Amino acid sequence: MGSRLLRRGVAALAIGSLGLGMTHLTSRPSSAAPVPQPTVAGVNAAAMDARDQDVSRDAARGIAPQALAQARSQALAQTAAELAAGRKSEALETRTEALDTNAEQINEQSKLLNDRSNFLMPTAGKFGSGFGMRLHPILHYYRMHNGQDIGGACGQPIWAAQSGTVIKVATGGYNGGSGHNVRIDGGTVGGVELETAYLHMDTIAVKVGQRVHKGELLGTVGNTGISTACHLHFSVYVNGKAVDPAPYLKNAG
């Protein structure tokens, strides 16, 4: 009986020792368990750092688009300025070319006006009846046509084909079939005395004795005298004799 009680006591003591050892083992922290983090005024410091980093990244994301937009705006402004400068340069170049062309045309016209060996086209229009014998369209018989007809609309300008002095201004209608007409003495040109005449005019802008220059307005195209339609009859006289005007008008400007 006594020995049985002794064995039970030893067993209980052994179990108690074993339980104490297990309790000690289970209370030790495992290496896989999270390590408690320090706190500052009750707030997790690591969480604060992470949040600050997120805020910094958010701030960076907020600034970057602004900087990009500013840089793009500056680039666009520079491009616009370059394009504007390019357009100005192109416009200037075009204008310069136009002015150069105009200057060349002016020089050519100046040479033409100063060159007494060449005529100026007295009015605009196509050539009609030429110099020589023809069946007159109104009188219906053959007679000498001593000039070159130049078709044109009534009222369009007539210019002096050569410089000279006005020696005849005839108005009042018929005038031997020539209608209103003007005659200019061009003086000595190429060793001959040269005169030009302008017939069937509507209005006359010069008077006898007036000095006119090549290209100066003499009057306007008309249909006066013996004429079937508005046109200019242009005559050239060499040493007082009517000659064919066509060679003089061949290179007329």
CATH number at residue 144: 2.70.70.10
Question: How many structural domains are present in the chain?
Answer: 1
The 3-state DSSP class for residue 235 equals: strand
Residue 68 in any domain: the answer is no
pLDDT beyond 70 at 146? yes
pLDDT in tens, 48-96: 455 455 545 544 455 566 676 677 677 777 777 777 677 667 767 776 7
Domain region containing 139: 132-249
pLDDT at 20: 41
Instruction: Please state, in angstroms and as integers, the Cα–Cα distance from residue 209 to each residue in 11, 184, 185, following that order.
Output: 163, 9, 10
Counting Cα atoms < 13 Å in the Cβ hemisphere of 29 gives 6
Instruction: Please state, in angstroms and as integers, the Cα–Cα distance from residue 200 to each residue in 105, 152, 172, 226, following that order.
Output: 31, 11, 11, 8
Both tokens of residue 76? 């666009």
Contact criterion met (CB below 8 Å) for 147 and 199: yes
Contact criterion met (CB below 8 Å) for 120 and 163: no
Residue 230 in any domain: the answer is yes
- Quote the percentage of the chain above a pLDDT of 90: 38
pLDDT at 117: 64
Residue 95 in any domain: the answer is no
Length of the chain: 253
Residue 224 in any domain: the answer is yes
Q: Which uninterrupted H or E stretch holds 11?
A: helix 2-26
Per-residue pLDDT, averaged over 40-53, amounts to 50
pLDDT in tens, 120-133: 999 999 998 888 87
Both tokens of residue 70? 């500013």
Residue 21 in any domain: the answer is no
Q: What are phi and psi of 135, to 5 degrees?
A: -80, 115
Both tokens of residue 99? 């002015």
Residue 73 in any domain: the answer is no
Residue 83 in any domain: the answer is no
pLDDT beyond 70 at 237? yes
Residue 104 in any domain: the answer is no
pLDDT beyond 80 at 30? no
Q: Which uninterrupted H or E stretch holds 233?
A: strand 231-238
Query: Per mean pLDDT, which range of 4-13, 70-79, 190-199, 230-239 is the poorest?
Result: 4-13
pLDDT at 95: 65
pLDDT at 234: 97
pLDDT beyond 50 at 10? no
